Amino acid sequence: MENQEKKTVLSFIQPTGTPTLGNYLGAFKNWKKMSGDYDCLFAVADLHSITVRPKPEDLRRRSLELYALLLALGLDCEKNTIFIQSMVPEHGQLAWILECYTQFGEASRMTQFKDKSEKHSDNVNVGLFAYPVLMAADILLYQTDYVPIGADQKQHLEITRDIAERFNGIYGNSFKIPEPFIGEVGANIKSLQEPAKKMSKSDANAKAFISILDDDNVIMKKIKSAITDSEAKVRYAEGKDGVNNLMSIYSCCTGKNMQEIEREFDGRGYGDFKNAVGEAVVEELRPLKQEYTRLINDKAYLMECAVAGAEKASRRAGVTLKKVMKKIGFVQAK
């Protein structure tokens, strides 16, 4: 891509808990490579996280921890834009504008709103309902070409495209219409205790997921307690969800394919296999955890990077916001 302008890719993650091994192997591990191939924006989506009213001290701590993790991945602040969402006021400003170009019916069809309303029935707030519009603002502010999304985010990208096309239809070309990012596919890591479902940091069972920052001994214990089956044979096959999941984890950490893994553990039991998986995960995460520890203990440097990233993002977002406000008819200083 050296001879042409790089396409813009935007990735946001909420500070609602420490990301899991699934997040790392499924997405983060590819971000460093992606950041060299594309014009990338990475952000801590702290505005999105307040729909469930976190404690102020928890939100502040988790936001800085997640920002430190992004840097610890090896992402280059000079080549890419890495920031904390709430430090860029243009997100909230454009979100309000786009809410006025979003139909109530299309917003009410968002399945995540329905799901989260059931989980948080004591706090069904307007922010929870308008969440997809803020996400649309996040994306459209930077004239984003591609957005990496999971299956649960597909509706949100669709409504973003609908809002952008509606606004463009009224005022002329204002926003790029974003596409889903089709890049290197990461692993789909499952729960260690219920391998039919995705590994999640919000799982009530702490044994079901590995946090990126888990202690080495904790990682080993969780892997050893992972659900397998009674066959006691390491092979990738239908109906062996637990073993398949551990094989996927081992493959991501070692680079070995399934056939190589099967040959390696031919005639050996699950005890040996789990030990090897645990050790591979520990070694995979070791450099990340070491760099994270260094960064989180240097709050001055973290804030310096966060401020610089926010200023960089704000300058870029401001160009889009100013154009949008002018087209709508807001009075603006020259």
State both tokens at 97.
């504008």
Q: Rounded to whole angstroms, how far apart are CA atoms 321 and 247?
A: 47
- Determine contact, residues 183/175, Cβ cutoff 8 Å: no
- Identify whether 327 is a catalytic site residue: no
Closest CA to 24 of 294, 287, 306: 287
DSSP 329: T
Q: Mind giving me the DSSP string for 152-194? A: GGHHHHHHHHHHHHHHHHHHSS-S---EE---S----PBPSSS
- Rounded to a whole number of angstroms, the distance between the first and last alpha carbons of the chain is 36
Contacts of 235 (CB under 8 A, 6+ apart): 243, 262
Tokens of 328: 């709508």
Catalytic annotation, pick one of 116, 233, 240, 312: 116
Which residue, among 189, 190, 193, 209, has the nearest Cα to 201 in the 3D structure? 209
- The candidate with the shortest Cα–Cα distance to 245, out of 272, 201, 208, is 208
Closest-CA residue to 136 (of 113, 170, 110, 163): 163
Residue with the two structure tokens 């004591």: 122
Q: Which of 29, 32, 154, 201 is catalytic?
A: 201
Q: Which of 29, 198, 233, 312 is catalytic?
A: 198
CA max distance for the chain: 76
198 catalytic per annotation:
yes
Let me know: does 225 contact 274? Beta carbons within 8 Å. Answer: no
81 vs 308: CA distance, rounded Å: 9
The question of whether 32 is a catalytic residue gets the answer: no
Distance CA 14, CA 84 (A): 10
The closest of 312, 304, 308, 327 to 90, measured between CA atoms, is: 312
Would you please indicate which residues are annotated as catalytic (active-site) residues? Answer: 116, 198, 201
